[in-house]
């Protein structure tokens, strides 16, 4: 892997541990969800078909164990982190920005019909709490906090706090202060 591509993996590790390089003990005891993201990144980076297949199989097996359904082709920016293991489903056509924090129970889904037919685009510095559903061809802006148990099916402007079902949007310049840690 090229050094530029390795940097993306280091950014994901930094978001979790607060340091770019970790020792052998931390690597061996690393949470499975972080290992899953590393496998996803490795799959996206290699051009060797044999290694691609190996990473794909490893990611599928680990994904089943930890109930993460994130297709390997999904576009995910630098510094994604998930602090607790749990069910996550992300549509392959969804786009996720930099410094995004996801939580168990997250669904980033496709809407099959209507004015929001398609998959979401999630901006940079977004924090999504437990059991959040983001559905349809919508845009979630930068610096957005989506509170636990929220259903989002409308565009969310930058610098917002979102909560509830139907979602209620409150503007806040400090929406993610204290929530997005170890930014890259």
pLDDT band at 2 (very low <50, low <70, confident <90, very high): low
Nearest to 94 by CA among 102, 82, 86, 85: 102
pLDDT of residue 24: 86
pLDDT band at 55 (very low <50, low <70, confident <90, very high): very high
pLDDT of residue 28: 87
Q: What is the pLDDT of residues 57-92, one digit of tens each?
A: 999 999 999 999 999 999 999 999 999 999 999 999
For residue 36, give every residue at least 6 positions away whose Cβ sits within 8 Å of its Cβ, in sequence order, or none: 59, 62, 63, 66, 68, 70
What are the backbone dihedrals phi and psi of residue 146, each rounded to the nearest 5 degrees, phi first?
Answer: -110, 115
Q: What is the pLDDT of residues 92-117, one digit of tens each?
A: 999 999 999 999 999 999 999 989 99
pLDDT band at 143 (very low <50, low <70, confident <90, very high): very high
Q: Is the pLDDT of residue 5 over 80?
A: no
Average pLDDT (139-149) is 98
pLDDT of residue 43: 94
- In the chain, what are the domains? 3-171 (2.160.10.10)
């Amino acid at each position: 892997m090229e050094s530029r591509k390795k940097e993306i993996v280091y950014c994901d590790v930094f978001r979790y541990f607060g340091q770019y390089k970790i020792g052998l003990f931390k690597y061996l005891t690393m949470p499975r969800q972080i290992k899953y993201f590393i496998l996803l990144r490795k799959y996206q980076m290699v051009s060797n078909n044999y290694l691609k297949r190996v990473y794909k199989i490893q990611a599928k097996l680990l994904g089943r164990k930890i109930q993460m359904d994130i297709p390997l082709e999904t576009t995910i920016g630098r510094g994604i982190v998930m602090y607790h293991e749990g069910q996550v489903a992300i549509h392959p056509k969804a786009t996720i920005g930099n410094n995004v924090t996801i939580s168990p129970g997250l669904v980033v889904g496709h809407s099959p019909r209507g004015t929001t037919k398609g998959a979401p685009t999630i901006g940079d510095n977004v924090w999504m709490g437990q059991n959040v559903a983001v559905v349809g061809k919508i845009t979630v802006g930068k610096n957005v906090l989506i509170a636990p148990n929220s259903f989002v099916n409308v565009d969310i402007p930058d610098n917002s706090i979102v909560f509830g079902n139907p979602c209620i949007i409150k503007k806040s310049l400090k929406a993610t202060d204290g929530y997005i840690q170890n930014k890259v």
